[in-house]
Amino acid sequence: MADSFPLQLKFGTVLSALLAFLRLEPVLSSLLRAEGKVKVGSEGSARPRVAVGFGGRVDIVVDAVVPLDGMDVRPSEEPLHHDFIENAEQLARSFAYFFPSGAASERFVTNDTLFGQPVEASRELPGNRRSVGGDAPVMAGRMAMEGCDVLLGVSANPDFADVLSQHITVAGNSAEEPDIHLIPEYPSGAEWGRYTSERRSPAESHGYIVHSDNRNPYLASMKEFEQKLQEFQPDLLVIGGLQMMDSFPFKQGERDALLAQLSHLLSSTSPKTGVHFEMASFVDEGLLARLLEAVVTHADSLGVNEQELPPVATALDQMRELYRLVNGRRARPLARLHVHTLAFQAIAVARGSPWKNTVSAAAEASLTASRHARGSAEIDPGKAELVTDESFSVSRQEGSRRIPLLEDWEEGDYEICVAPVLVCTEVYQAAGGGDNISAAGLVPQV
Ligand SMILES: *[C@@H]1O[C@H](CO)[C@@H](O)[C@H](O)[C@H]1NC(C)=O
Ligand SMILES: *[C@@H]1O[C@H](CO)[C@@H](O)[C@H](O)[C@H]1NC(C)=O
């Protein structure tokens, strides 16, 4: 008898995998069909022209409890929260504050001498990996891959420009050293002095990231980007990466001057050019208030990366409310809203606006999310699950109608579509896919 237990277990696993496959395979097929309906930039059709700003950096991933391995920083007995880091003592205390919980955090190191030490040390570490990162380069890369010609607003050195696709042109002043993010990867249970890092799930982002973003917060490429925009005449202008200005130690008046310039750039954009703003999360509410005025009023499309796991009905109600609140006093009417979550992609588009192919866009965004999480182009429905039901209520209001996933519906002046995400059960990487997802959702709509 005892022997039958493992057998039963095994049978149960096979059965549930089979059921998952049977349930998800049709969802995957319909997503792929919707994606396949639009072929952007294929032979005979012009490649859409997209301009993307701002930011750009080099990510250095190291397999160590960096930044501290590369420098003379002793475990501090007095953990303390610092908004940014000026010297070794602050670094030690700040690191001691975050290390035990393994919570994700990013800190700007204002002291170049101090920051230079772990960057130098990282070159010697076996298995260190360097890649081009930042919101604008990731979105640009995705859009070039999906068939667009891209003008990218970043300050870049030649090495940086070399690794970009041939369909990307860089517009920005050149920088000898790009902004660098040093990303430590160490196992749960790593030790630093008397501290031990708690277990993190692979779905969570890395631990304590230090960076030297002293170009990105100043939108250093904005002038060159603005000049080239005139000539490039994009179909779509995408603005992202503005969270780099968040909690940055600007001098009095600097931030407002930058936002005024950006606002000018956006307001002088041709009405034929769609303007998309990719929102990230902001800690500084003062900055958020200024962004609403300087950027959101000039954008006719918004992308929001929702970190919580709301039910579809809740997200849709929030989208309605957002539309209502931001569509009041605006330079341009808001014509598109894309909310991306772990579980689904919701896109609402104003009827009669130039934004087209909403169902394909939602499908493309969803598939990109699954592909990113698995780190491969193939999606295996046997290794995925749906976190949403197969139909959903369009609002929390009682008596609201139910809609099957991936079917679009009209509501007032808008067309809305919700695509489920096949959430990978063997997570390869869950964090950081937002830019790829948002960019993938824009391409079929231009
Ligand atoms: C910057 O860091 C270096 C190296 O740790 C240190 O010698 C110097 O005093 C720091 N500068 C300031 C202004 O804290
Ligand atoms: C974005 O997509 C590209 C191409 O699939 C991939 O190489 C890259 O790792 C992704 N990056 C992020 C941050 O999602």
Domains located in the chain, CATH noted: 28-58+133-178+213-445 (3.40.1190.20)
- Do you know the residue count of the chain? 446
Average pLDDT over residues 400-404: 91
Q: What percent of the chain shows pLDDT beyond 90?
A: 47
Reported as a pLDDT band with limits 50, 70 and 90, residue 235 is: very high
* pLDDT of res. 282: 86
Give yes or no for a contact between 47 and 167, defined as CB atoms under 8 angstroms apart: yes
Say which ligand is closest to the CA of 140: 2
In whole angstroms, give the CA distance from residue 65 to residue 102: 11
Global pTM? 0.88
Best mutation site among 146, 148, 278, 436 for ligand 2, i.e. most ligand atoms within 8 A of its Cβ?
Answer: 436
Say which ligand is closest to the CA of 90: 1
Whether residue 372 has its Cβ less than 6 Å from ligand 2: yes
For residue 172, give Cα distances in angstroms to 36, 153, 224, 320.
Answer: 35, 6, 5, 37
Reported as a pLDDT band with limits 50, 70 and 90, residue 429 is: low
- The rounded Å distance from CA 153 to ligand 1 centre is 32
Best mutation site among 73, 90, 109, 111 for ligand 1, i.e. most ligand atoms within 8 A of its Cβ?
Answer: 111
Average pLDDT over residues 374-391: 81
Q: Which atom of ligand 1 is nearest to the CA of 71?
A: 5
Q: Which atom of ligand 1 is nearest to the CA of 87?
A: 14
Output the residue whose Cα is nearest ligand 1's atom 10: 87
Is 50 exceeded by the pLDDT of residue 203?
Answer: no
- The rounded Å distance from CA 176 to ligand 1 centre is 22
- The rounded Å distance from CA 371 to ligand 2 centre is 9
- Smallest CA-to-CA distance from 19 within 426, 385, 387 is with 385
* DSSP bridge pairs for 85: 109
- The rounded Å distance from CA 436 to ligand 2 centre is 6
Whether residue 57 has its Cβ less than 6 Å from ligand 2: no
Instruction: Give per-residue pLDDT as tens, 57-101.
Output: 888 888 767 556 666 778 888 999 988 899 989 988 998 898 888
Is 90 exceeded by the pLDDT of residue 317?
Answer: yes
Is 90 exceeded by the pLDDT of residue 103?
Answer: no
Whether residue 433 has its Cβ less than 6 Å from ligand 2: yes
Give yes or no for a contact between 417 and 407, defined as CB atoms under 8 angstroms apart: yes
Best mutation site among 138, 143, 427, 428 for ligand 2, i.e. most ligand atoms within 8 A of its Cβ?
Answer: 138
Q: Supply the mean pLDDT for the chain.
A: 86
Whether residue 142 has its Cβ less than 6 Å from ligand 2: yes
Q: Of residues 432 and 378, which shows the higher confidence score?
A: 378
Output the residue whose Cα is nearest ligand 1's atom 4: 114
